[in-house]
Amino acid sequence: MHSLTEAFAFSAIVGQESMKQALLLNAVNHMVGGVLIRGEKGTAKSTAVRALAALLPQILVVEGCPFGCDPAAPAKLCPYCAQRLAKGEKLPNLLRKARVVDLPMGSTEDRLLSSLDSERAIKHGEKHFEPGILAEANRGVL
């Protein structure tokens, strides 16, 4: 079920023209590199981002990749996908909507960037990399 902010039309947001223009420019030109939105509570920040994300086209990703790698850009693959490709494995892909990932207040650096899975290391004696919030939001919206 969709929340009201996901169903709200981007064009229906009144005011906030600079914010809407920045979001649209970022959506059509990846060279912009991102938009940081800040403002008072109730100024439609989250509503605008979720409404725009609903308009974005589906993207092609490597199936099972925690970073949502683009299979059409082998030079930009994450270490996992690059290693699979180097072994001669065909990277399965799928189309999916660009993700909207929330950044929780008080997120720690290891949760944002990545960390080693200490529970797995203790229980099984294995090193396992746990991708962070940025990995989840890659090629989407944070």
Rg (CA), the chain: 18
- Picking from 4-8, 15-19, 31-35, which range would have the lowest pLDDT averaged per residue? 4-8
Each residue's pLDDT tens digit, 44-57: 888 888 888 888 88
Q: Tell me how far the alpha carbon of residue 29 is from its chain's centroid.
A: 16
Distance CA 142, CA 134 (A): 8
Q: Tell me how far the alpha carbon of residue 139 is from its chain's centroid.
A: 5
Neighbour count for residue 97 (Cβ, 10 Å): 12
pTM: 0.70
Each residue's pLDDT tens digit, 68-111: 999 999 899 998 899 999 999 999 999 999 888 888 888 888 88
The residue among 16 and 127 whose pLDDT is bigger is: 16
- Token pair, residue 12, equals 């229906």
